[in-house]
């Protein structure tokens, strides 16, 4: 296998994404974990760009890095407790738990890899001419074919908002 510049880029992006993803699980401080998580999202966006899916890549950055990561940081800052991170999860079965988690993860990865590699239809010939993505077509699709899910997602966000506000009110006045 000879590495081209494009291949090197892919590996750089992949290492960035996987490394940041691993760090999210390993870093102890929640704020740092959130920031490394944002880095992971950036890596995923870069991978999309590398694949030629510009729209998806930019949306990934806009939505995940721009909004979701910031939201996570906000939540961490708002729910900060004095005693956060005091007690360590551990005990006698810590090693067993790690082994169990690794086992499940490996089994799942193996199943996924075997299924993807075994499915011939995933290696279909891709048409040579580049796919042109019209943003206007996406917009039309959103207000025609995808109206029900779009509206429903709005309702989901409303529920989240109502719940967040009500729970925050309770936190404010613990005696009520």
Partner 1 sequence: MNYLELISHVLPEIAVLVTALVLIGMGCAGGSRGGGKAVLAVTAAGLGLALAAVVFGPESGRLLEGMIVVDALTRLFKAVLLALTLGTALFLFPGGEAGGNEGRGAENSALLLLALLGLLVVVGTENLLLLFVGLELASLALYLMVVFAAPAGRPAEAALRYFFFGSVAAAFLLFGFSFIYGATGSIDLRVIAKVLAAHPVEPILPLGVGLALVGFGFKVAAVPFHLWAPDVYQSAPAPAAGFIASASKVAGFFIVAKVLVLGFGVVEGSADWGAFAMGWAPLVAVLAALSMVVGNLAALAQQSVRRLLAYSGIGHSGFILTALVAANAEAVRAVLFYSVIYGVASLAAFGVAGCVLRARGADRLEDFAGLGRTAPAAAGVLALALLSLAGLPPLVGFFGKFQLFAAALSGGTPGTVPGLLWLVALALLMSAVSLYYYLRVLKQVFFAPAPADAAPTRDTSAGTAVCLVCGSVLVLLGLFPSLVLQPLQRALVQLF
Shortest distance (Å) from residue 109 CB to partner 1: 12
Shortest distance (Å) from residue 156 CB to partner 1: 5
For residues 34 and 32, what is the distance between their CA atoms, to the nearest angstrom?
5
4 vs 119 by CB, closer to partner 1: 119
Shortest distance (Å) from residue 105 CB to partner 1: 13
12 vs 152 by CB, closer to partner 1: 152
8 vs 75 by CB, closer to partner 1: 75
1 vs 170 by CB, closer to partner 1: 170
Comparing CA positions, the residue from 35, 8, 7 lying closest to residue 23 is 35
Shortest distance (Å) from residue 83 CB to partner 1: 15
- Between the alpha carbon of residue 125 and those of residues 45, 120, 168, the distances in Å are 25, 11, 53
Which ranges in the chain belong to alpha helices (H)? 5-26, 30-50, 54-59, 69-78, 94-118, 135-143, 147-172
Residue 25 sits at φ, ψ, to 5 deg, of -75, -25
Binding site for partner 1 (CB under 8 A): 111-112, 114-116, 118-122, 144-145, 147-149, 152-153, 155-156, 158-160, 162-163, 166-167, 176
- Between the alpha carbon of residue 68 and those of residues 63, 101, 142, the distances in Å are 6, 26, 21
């Amino acid at each position: 296998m000879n590495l081209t510049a494009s291949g090197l880029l892919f590996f750089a992006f992949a290492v960035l994404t996987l490394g940041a993803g691993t760090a999210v699980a390993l870093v102890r401080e929640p704020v740092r974990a959130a920031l490394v998580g944002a880095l992971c999202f950036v890596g995923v966006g870069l991978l999309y760009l590398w694949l030629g899916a510009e729209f998806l890549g930019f949306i990934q950055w806009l939505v995940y890095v721009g909004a979701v990561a910031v939201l996570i940081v906000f939540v961490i800052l708002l729910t900060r407790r004095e005693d956060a991170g005091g007690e360590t999860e551990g005990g006698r079965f810590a090693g067993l738990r790690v082994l169990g988690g690794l086992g499940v993860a490996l089994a799942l990865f193996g199943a996924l890899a075997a299924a993807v590699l075994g499915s011939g239809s995933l290696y279909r010939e891709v048409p040579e001419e580049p796919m042109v993505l019209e943003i206007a077509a996406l917009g039309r699709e959103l207000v025609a074919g995808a109206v029900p899910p779009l509206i429903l997602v709005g309702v989901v966000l409303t529920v989240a908002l109502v719940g967040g506000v009500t729970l925050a009110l309770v936190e404010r006045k613990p005696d009520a």
